Amino acid sequence: MSKKIFINLPVADLKKSMDFYSAIGFTNNPQFTDNTAACMVLTEDIFVMLLTHDKFKSFTSKEIADTKKMASVINSLSVDSNAEVNQFVEKAVAAGGKEPNKEKDYGFMLQRSVEDPDGNLWEVLYMDLSKFPK
């Protein structure tokens, strides 16, 4: 059995966040979705759990970070081409996200950043190791 990753994100508006993640290519798994949480699926091994603040607080005694003001984690996602990096970010911005940084082109890797409506950070990158400097 392959290992899976579940990224749990606190969100202020569950519907708005579901709409955002749907717009950038995630699908909803209704089996694990209710009025407090939504399971958004990117691949058979990558899931984002969108949790209302009350639901998120049931898993931790720590305060929820205001990710519009501070970074708590940067989630990085590799894709299959430079074009897919650009498409992902363009979809995210069109769906209400923000691109907080300029793209970085390292020759062997293209990297762009996006924030979801709650300010959660994502780095989207394509890496071609055949172009890595020797």
- Is 47 a member of any domain? yes
Q: What is the mean pLDDT of each run of 10 residues along the chain (134 residues)?
A: 92 98 97 98 97 97 93 94 97 97 96 97 95 87
Look up the domain containing 117 and give its range. Answer: 5-52+74-131
Question: How many Å apart are CA 21 and CA 3, to the nearest integer?
Answer: 22
> The pTM is what?
0.91
Give the domain CATH number at 38.
Answer: 3.10.180.10
- Is 35 a member of any domain? yes
- Is 30 a member of any domain? yes
- Is 90 a member of any domain? yes
Quote the number of domains for the chain: 1
Read off the tokens for 93.
């911005």
Query: H helices of the chain, where?
Result: 14-23, 53-57, 82-94
